[in-house]
Amino acid sequence: MQTIRMIIEYDGTGYCGWQIQPNGISIQEKLTDALTAVTGEKVTVHGSGRTDAGVHARGQCASFKTKSRIPANRFAPALNTHLPPDICVLETREASPDFHARYSALGKAYSYHLHVHPQGSALLRNAAWQLRQWPDTAKMEAALEMITGTHDFAAFRAANSDVKDTVRTIWKASLYHREPHLRITYQGNGFLYKMVRMLSAAVVQVGLGKMPLEAIRERLNHPAADYRKLTAPPQGLFLDKVYYEAEELPLF
Amino acid sequence: MQTIRMIIEYDGTGYCGWQIQPNGISIQEKLTDALTAVTGEKVTVHGSGRTDAGVHARGQCASFKTKSRIPANRFAPALNTHLPPDICVLETREASPDFHARYSALGKAYSYHLHVHPQGSALLRNAAWQLRQWPDTAKMEAALEMITGTHDFAAFRAANSDVKDTVRTIWKASLYHREPHLRITYQGNGFLYKMVRMLSAAVVQVGLGKMPLEAIRERLNHPAADYRKLTAPPQGLFLDKVYYEAEELPLF
């Protein structure tokens, strides 16, 4: 029995998200089908976590166990011949038997992309949140500095999420901008359901002058209060990397 | 009667190209339909030139004449409400009555995008030529330097093209690269049919060591000879800008 770890890139536009669901086609289902085609087995694919409909990945990770004797690094090209062009396995390698894409993860990196033009963008329609006016980037940076560190992020998670421990550490949150593009990157030890999209929405609201910076501090200091929750659209979000090795973790 | 000049961005993936054709849906047709919806007239849209199926534009230009009294800058938002999301009119403005998107053009800028990964890319499948190995960028730069300037580019045009004068000037051709991305940009006074894709194919062949640099010189010095013609795939090509004003032209 081999345990295989894989890195997957996908365009989430055409999918109901990572996770297998009764209605809609998921990335996980496409990978499971490809693995059955390659190995002849019924294989369970464990992702590092789910991504929502329309959310993309440059570096989603997943793991599976197989009796197949195909060399670990040959799974990537074999799977790609059975996958649609909007899903691509970038790398497969052997992992230790106790490796699990979700439980072994030490952290993740996400980026949230924005594009600013009064008329939007045809080329980036599925890969960025389209803003009509340029936000105040200094205010956005102040908001990102405020959320960096260890906080109870309960005010920045979807209402239907039932995780008990809502304390997470964001190691680094930064803004890259060059007109007409903006990109917010987040690196942290874990993210609650919809947390990156809710943080991004708040940071953008601050940048557009529609929310005071203090509103972010209040949400971090009083996470359990009842706030109006804004969620940035899914197409701007990319799961860039899942960290498994301590030496990969960002140093500051 | 107003003469309107517009800048259009489009994702060429789902189209047979710019030009109206009996079989297939074109960008020009979609724009013509949108203009009829906005003005109630049958309007003829003149593009700066055609782009092939799968080729994209960040800054295609087109012109049309209309009796409509809609202010010139209001056409862009009005047209966008009638256009699919993969075509976006970025700007419309009034032009002088003798302006014509094709005949008034002084030059164009294109970029050709490449992505290098042994397994390809899901996110860039429609927006870059997927290479499997990293080319020699110094060799590519030498090839780009060789094609810069005024040459007879007959060896770099599609066989079915019947333009008589095949001399063109490339003002600047340069390479940007940061793994896993490469981008070749071209600025010149005009480009023959498929010329940018054929130049890009040759430059990449030189970078991959599959064609000597001297083969490019030979094609420039003896343009009429019979060469094996390679064309880079359409999805890597972007029409970035059309120049109409002398003061917009790149200075070196």
Angle between helices A195-207 and A137-147 (to 10 degrees): 140
Q: Are residues B145 and B77 part of one domain?
A: no
The CATH number for A85's domain is 3.30.70.580
User: ω into residue B22 within 30 of 0, thus cis?
Assistant: no
Domain stop point among A30, A61, A95: A95
Q: How many CB pairs under 8 A join A and B?
A: 61
pLDDT at A159: 81
The count of structural domains within chain A is: 2
* Angle formed at CA B75 by CA B72 and CA B81, multiple of 5 degrees: 170
Residues 6+ apart with CB under 8 A from A188: A107, A108, A168, A169, A170, A171, A172
Please report residues of B whose CB lies closer than 8 A to that of A88.
119-122, 125
pLDDT at B79: 98
Helix H, strand E, coil C: the string for A119-131 is CCCCCCCCCCEEE
pLDDT tens digit at each of 252 positions of chain A: 999 999 999 999 999 999 999 999 999 999 999 999 999 999 999 999 999 999 999 999 999 999 999 999 999 999 999 999 999 999 999 999 999 999 999 999 999 999 999 999 999 999 999 999 999 999 999 999 999 999 999 999 998 777 889 999 999 999 999 999 999 999 999 999 999 999 999 999 999 999 999 999 999 999 999 999 899 999 999 999 999 998 888 876
pLDDT at B161: 76
Q: Are residues A118 and A87 part of one domain?
A: no
Q: Are residues A114 and A89 part of one domain?
A: no
Burial B136-155 (b: 16+ CB within 10 A, else e): eeebbbebbebbbeebbbbb
Active site residue A98: no
3-state class percentages of chain B: helix first, strand second, coil last, to nearest 5: 25, 30, 45
Q: Is residue A209 part of a domain?
A: yes
pLDDT at B162: 78
> Looking at residue B44, what DSSP letter applies?
P
CA distance A4 to chain B (A): 17
Q: Are residues B123 and B181 part of one domain?
A: yes
SS3 of residue B79 by DSSP: helix
A contact residues 108-147, partner B, Cβ 8 Å cutoff = 117-123, 125, 127
Q: Which of A31-35, B157-161, B175-179 has the lowest mean pLDDT?
A: B157-161
Dihedral of the CA atoms A135, A139, A140, A141 (nearest 10)?
140
The strand ranges marked E within chain A are 2-10, 46-47, 56-66, 87-95, 107-116, 129-131, 149-152, 167-178, 181-188, 237-243
Question: Domain range spanning residue B179?
Answer: 107-248
> Looking at residue B73, what DSSP letter applies?
G
Q: Are residues B78 and B141 part of one domain?
A: no
Domain stop point among A95, A118, A135: A95
Contact present, A57 and A28 (Cβ < 8 Å)? no
Query: Distance (Å, rounded) from C-alpha B19 to C-alpha B225?
Result: 30
A110 is in an annotated binding site: yes
B122 contacts A86? CB cut-off 8 A: yes
> Looking at residue A118, what DSSP letter applies?
T
Q: What values do phi and psi take at A63, rounded to 5?
A: -135, 155
CA distance A3 to chain B (A): 21
User: ω into residue B250 within 30 of 0, thus cis?
Assistant: no
How deeply is B33 buried, as exposed, middle or buried, from its count of CB atoms within 10 A (0-12, 13-18, 19+)? middle
Q: Is residue A63 part of a domain?
A: yes
Q: Is residue B234 part of a domain?
A: yes
Q: For residue B225, what are its two tokens?
A: 């000879």
Q: Are residues A127 and A73 part of one domain?
A: no
Query: Distance (Å, rounded) from C-alpha A72 to C-alpha A155?
Result: 42
Q: Is residue A101 part of a domain?
A: no
pLDDT at B87: 98
Q: Are residues B17 and B112 part of one domain?
A: no
Instruction: Note the pLDDT tens digit of each residue in B7-60.
Output: 999 999 999 999 999 999 999 999 999 999 999 999 999 999 999 999 999 999
Q: Are residues B143 and B65 part of one domain?
A: no
Q: Is residue A252 part of a domain?
A: no
The CATH number for A185's domain is 3.30.70.660
How deeply is B240 buried, as exposed, middle or buried, from its count of CB atoms within 10 A (0-12, 13-18, 19+)? middle
Residues 6+ apart with CB under 8 A from B104: B63, B98, B244
Provide the pairing of β-strand A2-10 with A56-66: antiparallel
Residues 6+ apart with CB under 8 A from B178: none
Please report residues of A whose CB lies closer than 8 A to that of B86.
122, 125
Q: Which residue of B has its CA nearest to A120?
A: B88
Q: Is residue B102 part of a domain?
A: no
Amino acid in the structure at residue B111: S
Contact present, B184 and B196 (Cβ < 8 Å)? no
Q: Is residue B100 part of a domain?
A: no
pLDDT at A163: 85
Q: Which residue of A has its CA nearest to B89?
A: A119
3-state class percentages of chain A: helix first, strand second, coil last, to nearest 5: 25, 30, 45
User: One of B33, B52, B152, B226 is an active-site residue; which one?
Assistant: B52
Q: For residue B34, what are its two tokens?
A: 């949108």
Q: Are residues B130 and B243 part of one domain?
A: yes
Q: Are residues A186 and A116 part of one domain?
A: yes
Q: Is residue B85 part of a domain?
A: yes
Query: Distance (Å, rounded) from C-alpha A148 to C-alpha A87?
Result: 32
Q: Left (φ > 0), alpha (ψ -120 to 50) or beta: where does A38 sit?
A: alpha
> Looking at residue A63, what DSSP letter applies?
E
Q: Are residues A111 and A91 part of one domain?
A: no
Q: Are residues A122 and A80 part of one domain?
A: no
